A and B are shown apart, each in its own frame.
Chain A
Amino acid sequence: MAVKTEPVTINLGPQHPSTHGVFRLRVKFDGEVVLDVEPVFGYLHRGTEKLAESRTYVQIVTLTDRLDYTASMSNNLSYVLAVEKLAGIEAPERAQYIRVICAELARISSHLMATGFLLNDLGAFATPLMYCFRERERILDLFEMLCGARITVSYMRPGGVLQDPPDDFWPALTRINDDLPQYFDELESLITGNEIVLARTRDVGTISAEHAINASISGPILRATGVQWDVRRADPYEIYDRLDFDIPIGAVGDTFDRYLVRIQEMRESVKIIRQCIEQTPDGPYRADAPWFIRAPEGDAYAAVEGPKGELGFYMVSDGDISPYRCKIRAPSFINLTALTDMLVGWKMGDLITIFGSLDVVLGEVDR
C-alpha cells in the first residue's frame, strides 16, 4: 500500500543560530531532501544607504563599521577609497601601508570566524570555534591598540588614518604575524585531514565556475570554483601592486574547497603583512583633507577585495558636504543569489553546512 506524502515547508530562522544572524529560509522538504529554498531577509535592515545621505563624509565611516562587522576595517577601506576618488584626495604612502595591514588583519579575523563557524555548523560544537576565536582575539587586541575599539573601529578617514599606530604596535604585529602560520597549521591538522569533515564537505554544495560568474559571485566562493579573480590583482588599489602574493584557487567549488581557499588566503595575508611591515615608510599618516569634505559633483566607485568578496561603494555627490547617494555593493548579499541552486537536492544537514560555507554576514546583507 502506497503511503500518500506531500512536501513540507519549514521555516529555518530568523532566530536559528546556524543562520549566522537574523536570516530566514523557507525550505520545502521532501522527507529530508530540499526541494525549494526561498531566502527571506531584511530583519536587520537599518537603512545605511539612506542614513548616509544625511551625514557628512567622515560621519559615514561610523556606519560602514556596522555592515560586515567581522571585518570592519575592510569596509572602512572601501568607503574611504571611494571618497578619496570622489574628492580627489591622495592618501600618504604610510597611511596606505597601514590601511593594507589593517585590511589584511581583518581578512584573517573574518576567515577565522568563517572557518570556526563552518565547523560549528558541521556539529563540531565550540572546540574548533574557540581555537579560531583565540587567534581572532589577538587580532582584535591589535585593533584596540590602534584605535581603541575592537569591532566598530572607525579608524580610517578620507585621506589616511586617524592616528599613527603607537610604538608598541609594530612589535606586537610582528609577533602575531609570526605566530599565525603555526596556528593555521594546527587548524589544518585539526580539520583538513579529518574524515568526518571530508565526508560532510567533499562534493557538497558544488557550484560551477560559469554559474558563479553568471551570478556575479566574488570572493572565496568564486575562487573555490577555479576562477582566479581577485580585485587586489585585477584592479590593484592602494599598494597591492608592489606586493608579492598568490591567489589560491580551488578545484571543484564545493564546501571543502571554499574552506581550503580561506585557509590558504589567510597564509597569503600573513605574507602580505610581512612585506608591508618591511616596506612601511615614515612620513605623514593623514593627508591635508578638510574635515567637511565638499566633493565636486560627480560619482565614483571603489571596490576592494573584502573577506567575503568584492566590496564596493558607489558614491554620488552634488557638491554638498554629504553624498547625494551612497550605494553599497555588499558581497554577502550577492553571494546569496546562487543559494537556491546550491541547496536544491541536498539533505537538511547539508543545507546548514552549505549556508555556513558561504560565510554570510547579515549586517551586510540587510544593510
Chain B
Amino acid sequence: MYGVGLIKGLGVTIKNLILPGRQFTIHQYPDRKIGPIGLARMEGKNPLAFALSRPGETLKAMMGLVSVPDKRQDQHPRFRGEEFSWYDNRCTGCASCAKYCPLGIIKIVTSPSETAMQEGDKYAIDVFDIDIGRCMFCGLCVEACPYDALHMGSGFEEGTYTRAELVINVDMLKAAPKKPSQWFRPQLTSQNYNPLDSDGKEASSQDVHRHEKPSQSDQEKTWGQR
C-alpha cells in the first residue's frame, strides 16, 4: 500500500521525540534554555510521566525559565588540547620537540648555563615559543620528548582576538596550570590519573615522570642507530 513507508518513518521520528534515553545529538551550551521535552530527557524520563510527576518544573520549562545545568560533557583523559604542560626542571633544551614538529611551530633558544655542563647541568632556556595558532595538536612533540618534559593539555576554550596572542612563551608555559593529558604517557594511564578531574589527585611533578631510566640498548632501539 502506498504510504506505509512514510507512516513507518514518522513512527521512528515520534519514537525519537518521546522515548527517553535517546541521546542528545547536540549538547547544549550552559547558557541555553531548555524546553519541557529536553528537561525530561535529561532526567531520562518520558516527558508525559515527567510532566505529571513534576508539573511545576515542566511549566517553568515551557515558559523558558529553565537553563541547562552547567555540566560539561566528559572529555577523555587522552584528550589532546591546549595548555601544554611543560616541566621546567626536566627540559634540557634539546629541542627534540621542535625538530619533530611537522609544522615547525616550536621555537627554542638556549644558552649554556654558567655551571659545568659535564656534570649534568643543562642549558638555560631563553625562548620556548609554541605558536598554537598553527598547531594541529598531533602530539608528536610529546612523543619526541626524551625526558617527559612536555605534555599535551586539556584546554579547548582559549580563544583570543589576535593571532599574536596565540603564541605561548616560556613564562606562560611556566605559569600554566599543569593538567597533563594521558596522550602517549602510559605511566599516567597506569596510575588512573585523570587530568580533568578537579577533585581527584593532582599529579605531582614526579608522578608524571617515567621512573625507570631506559637502558642503552632500549634507547638505541627507540631512537635509531646513530
Please report the C-alpha to C-alpha distance between residue A307 and residue B22 in the assembled complex, in whole angstroms.
Answer: 27
B64 is an interface residue with CB less than 8 A from chain A:
no
Is the beta-carbon distance between A154 and B139 smaller than 8 angstroms?
yes
Q: Which of A133, A144, A152 contacts B76 (CB 8 A)?
A: A144
Please report the C-alpha to C-alpha distance between residue A189 and residue B6 in the assembled complex, in whole angstroms.
Answer: 9
Known A-B contacts A59-B140, A130-B25, A195-B6; A186 and B183 likewise in contact (beta carbons under 8 Å) = no
Known A-B contacts A62-B102, A134-B25, A290-B224; A148 and B9 likewise in contact (beta carbons under 8 Å) = no
In the complex, which residues of chain A have a beta carbon less than 8 angstroms from the beta carbon of B12?
186, 189-190
Q: Which of B4, B13, B23, B184 contacts A162 (CB 8 A)?
A: B184
Known A-B contacts A130-B25, A134-B23, A152-B138; A194 and B5 likewise in contact (beta carbons under 8 Å) = yes
Please report the C-alpha to C-alpha distance between residue A138 and residue B140 in the assembled complex, in whole angstroms.
Answer: 26
Which of B77-85, B117-125, B203-211 forms part of the interface with chain A?
B77-85
How far apart are A310's CB and chain B's nearest CB, in angstroms? 26
In the complex, which residues of chain A have a beta carbon less than 8 angstroms from the beta carbon of B152?
148
B181 is an interface residue with CB less than 8 A from chain A:
yes
A127 is an interface residue with CB less than 8 A from chain B:
yes
Is the beta-carbon distance between A194 and B186 smaller than 8 angstroms?
no
Q: Which of B4, B8, B184, B222 contacts A290 (CB 8 A)?
A: B222
Q: Which of A130, A133, A144, A193 contacts B79 (CB 8 A)?
A: A144
Please report the C-alpha to C-alpha distance between residue A202 and residue B140 in the assembled complex, in whole angstroms.
Answer: 48
Q: Contact mask B203-226 → A, CB, 8 Å, 1/0?
A: 000000000000000000111110
Q: Contact mask A37-76 → B, CB, 8 Å, 1/0?
A: 0000000000000000001001101110000000000000
Known A-B contacts A62-B140, A163-B184, A291-B223; A189 and B76 likewise in contact (beta carbons under 8 Å) = no
Please report the C-alpha to C-alpha distance between residue A186 and residue B11 in the assembled complex, in whole angstroms.
Answer: 10
In the complex, which residues of chain A have a beta carbon less than 8 angstroms from the beta carbon of B189?
163, 166
Please report the C-alpha to C-alpha distance between residue A130 and residue B24 in the assembled complex, in whole angstroms.
Answer: 10
In the complex, which residues of chain A have a beta carbon less than 8 angstroms from the beta carbon of B76?
141, 144-145, 148, 166
How far apart are A341's CB and chain B's nearest CB, in angstroms? 30
In the complex, which residues of chain A have a beta carbon less than 8 angstroms from the beta carbon of B9?
189-191, 193-194
A146 is an interface residue with CB less than 8 A from chain B:
yes
Q: Which of A138, A149, A192 contacts B137 (CB 8 A)?
A: A149
B161 is an interface residue with CB less than 8 A from chain A:
no
In the complex, which residues of chain A have a beta carbon less than 8 angstroms from the beta carbon of B184?
162-163
Residues from 13 to 57 in B contacting A, C-beta threshold 8 Å: 13, 16, 22-23, 25
Q: Contact mask B103-144 → A, CB, 8 Å, 1/0?
A: 000000000000000000000000000000000111110011
In the complex, which residues of chain A have a beta carbon less than 8 angstroms from the beta carbon of B182?
148, 166
Please report the C-alpha to C-alpha distance between residue A291 and residue B99 in the assembled complex, in whole angstroms.
Answer: 12
A292 is an interface residue with CB less than 8 A from chain B:
yes
Is the beta-carbon distance between B138 and A148 smaller than 8 angstroms?
no
Please report the C-alpha to C-alpha distance between residue A85 and residue B78 in the assembled complex, in whole angstroms.
Answer: 30
Q: Quick one: closest A residue to B3, CB to CB?
A: A195
A215 is an interface residue with CB less than 8 A from chain B:
no
Q: Which 4 A-B pairs have the closest CB atoms?
A: A193-B5, A290-B224, A148-B78, A148-B80
- 16 A-B pairs within 8 Å (CB atoms) are namely A59-B102, A59-B140, A134-B23, A134-B25, A145-B76, A147-B183, A148-B80, A148-B139, A148-B181, A149-B137, A154-B139, A190-B13, A192-B5, A193-B4, A195-B3, A291-B143
User: Which residues from chain B sit less than 8 Å from chain A, CB to CB?
Assistant: 2-6, 8-9, 11-13, 16, 22-23, 25, 75-80, 100, 102, 136-140, 143-144, 152, 181-184, 186, 189, 221-225
